[in-house]
Structure 1
Amino acid sequence: MLDLIEELRIEIMVILFSMLPIIEVRGAIPLGISLGLSPIHSTILGIIGNIIIVPFLLKLLHPIMLFFEKTVIFSKTIGWVKKRAMKKSGTIKKYSLIGLFIFVAVPIPTTGAWTGSVIASILKLDFKKSLLAISLGVVSSGFIVAIISYSVVSIF
């Protein structure tokens, strides 16, 4: 079993990194390429890892934020997260699910699946439609990052 984990160490690392907030596919794909994976392999793993977390985020973020918002210790932090996410939600408010897709598809910091899921939860968008929009956004973002990463690697 440990031999299998050792063999898949890089793949597991790329998947886990793509699940992390802020890093997501924008960091996981270049990481995989820099560790020796092919751009296609790294892109597929990064996209899968980033999409795996989305249903859990959509289902659990709102109740968790409501719970922690009521605590003395975390209320300010949750309020800050909500304000920060809602500042970025103009496109989503205006265009709903297409806006959510565009928001997630643009591969710049704080516009990924995590922030998209927070906004979809706060705006109480439909779960299945949000999941589809965010997933398609992750795929688009993954391809954009892969093209940019491959271009940079091929220069060197």
Structure 2
Amino acid sequence: MSVENLLVEMLASVPHWLAVLLIGAIPVSELRGAIPVAMGIYHMEPLEAYFLSVLGNLLPVIPLLLFLEPVSNYLRRYRIFDIFFTWLFSRTRRNHTENFEKYGLLALTLFVAIPLPVTGAWTGCAAAFVFGIKFRNSFPAIAAGILIAGIIVTAVTMTGMSLFELILGA
């Protein structure tokens, strides 16, 4: 059973619009899962699916950007978390500093916009935190990435659904 199907089953008792918002908000699926569910399972129009999924994906961004640093600082009081965060930050900076220095906020926007596993708003917020990008800069970059990803996923979902209908002769 796919993650999306499991989420749909878990959210069966809530209104479809709320289910799409929630699926868009959680890190496992984000809008990459919410849009296909909205259009394919709940039969929403593309614009409604896009709007609800993007809104759901935006919901956790502000709290994440505002609270990742205080939570990290609190957890660093414990040796195991301090070791983990030191490893994570040094690894991330070592592997991605060149792109962020070269492309700046555009790199963050593109990272969030590319609808692949392990990219998206949640990871973009973590990257903004690790690279010390201030809220006033990171929020618009991440929001732009979400909007672009939503367009891509909606277009791909519409194309996939059209091909599916064409094949079945529906």
Regarding TM over 0.5, the answer is yes
State the structure with more CA Rg: 2
Unpaired runs of 5+ residues, structure 2, are 1-11, 165-170
Task: Note the 1:6-45 alignment, pairs <5 A.
Answer: 9-36=15-42, 37-45=44-52
CA distance in 1, matches of 2:118, 2:97: 11
Q: Aligned in 2, Cα 1:8/1:42: closer, same or farther, shift over 3 Å?
A: farther
What is the TM-score of this pair, normalised by structure 1?
A: 0.84
Structure-2 change in CA distance of 1:91 and 1:22 (3 Å): farther
Counterparts in 2 of 1:32 and 1:79: CA distance versus 1, 3 Å: farther
Output the aligned Cα RMSD.
2.3
TM-score normalized with structure 2 length: 0.77
Structure 1 alignment gaps of length 5 or more: 1-5
1:29–1:145 Cα contact (<8 Å) kept: yes
> Which of the numbers 113, 120, 127 marks the counterpart of 2:121?
113
Tell me if structure 2 keeps the 8 A contact 1:11–1:45: yes
The aligned residue for residue 3 of structure 2 is none
String of CA shifts for 1:81-136, please: whole Å, max 9, x gaps.
Answer: 54665445653343111111111111111111111111111211121111001000
Larger RCO (alpha carbons 8 Å, 6+ apart): 1
Task: Give the whole-Å Cα distance in 2 for the aligned partners of 1:80 and 1:41.
Answer: 41
Number of the residue aligned with 2:109: 101
Q: How many residues align?
A: 151
